[in-house]
Amino acid sequence: MRNKLMFVALLFSFQIFAQNDPKTAFQKGKYEAAISYYKKADYVKAIDLFSLAAKIKPENQIAQEAIKKVDTLREILRKDILDQAIGSWKKSGDQPIWASTNVENQSGVDEIIEINKDEILFYEVDKKTKVKTLIKKENLVYNDENSLVSLFSEIILSDGTIWNCQINEKSNVLHVINVAVKTENGIQKINAENLERYYVRI
């Protein structure tokens, strides 16, 4: 009974403190909104709000709980997008399919990528002979250091470029956009003229 009374008193004290501290109140509001989205299984909105809550006052208990939720959701969302991405994709260009012209690729090769749970393999396939040549391999490395666009779908290639990946399940289109580059001085965001690539599942 005594422990219960102490918990109630502590909770009441925290609520009063939060009311007197707008920053904590704002953080608590974001955390509660994140919990709401989490319960609805809207994990993308939930992870963004948990991340925001963790940054507002990183030293308090709310932030620590929010960080745990971010780590959990990151694993869930990465598994989901990887499950969708595994397989073979053919490059369709640097514009969405609906915006592309009817002019076919004039080169003699198709650019193909194959994604598995550990690697991305880049191939060229000769259109006439159908000979498939491996161009390079990339380990599947996620950007956990300083996410810029997404907390779960940014990957780092060996040349330091960082790409955000999105999949449209309905149209079977993989869209990647170069959002940053990792250098000796850290991660630098690309704010304009970002390179984009579109791939269709084959």
> pLDDT of 107-166, one tens digit each?
799 999 999 999 999 999 999 999 999 999 999 999 988 777 889 999 999 999 999 999
10 pLDDT higher than 70? no
pTM of the full structure: 0.79
Domain at 2-82, CATH class: mainly alpha
Q: What are phi and psi for residue 102, nearest 5 degrees? A: -85, 0
* Whole-number CA gyration radius for the chain: 22
What whole-number distance in Å separates Cα of residue 178 and Cα of residue 199?
A: 14
Instruction: Kindly state the tokens that stand for 98.
Output: 């609906």
Per residue in 81-120, pLDDT (tens digit) is 999 999 999 999 877 655 555 445 577 999 999 999 999 9
Question: Dihedral of the CA atoms 98, 103, 108, 111 (nearest 10)?
Answer: -10
Contact 187, 148 (CB under 8 A): yes
Instruction: Kindly state the tokens that stand for 112.
Output: 């193909």
Q: Would you identify the CATH topology of the domain 86-201? A: Lipocalin (2.40.128)
Q: What are the boundaries of each domain within the chain?
A: 2-82, 86-201
CA atoms lying within 13 Å on the CB side of residue 130: 0
What whole-number distance in Å separates Cα of residue 100 and Cα of residue 119?
A: 29
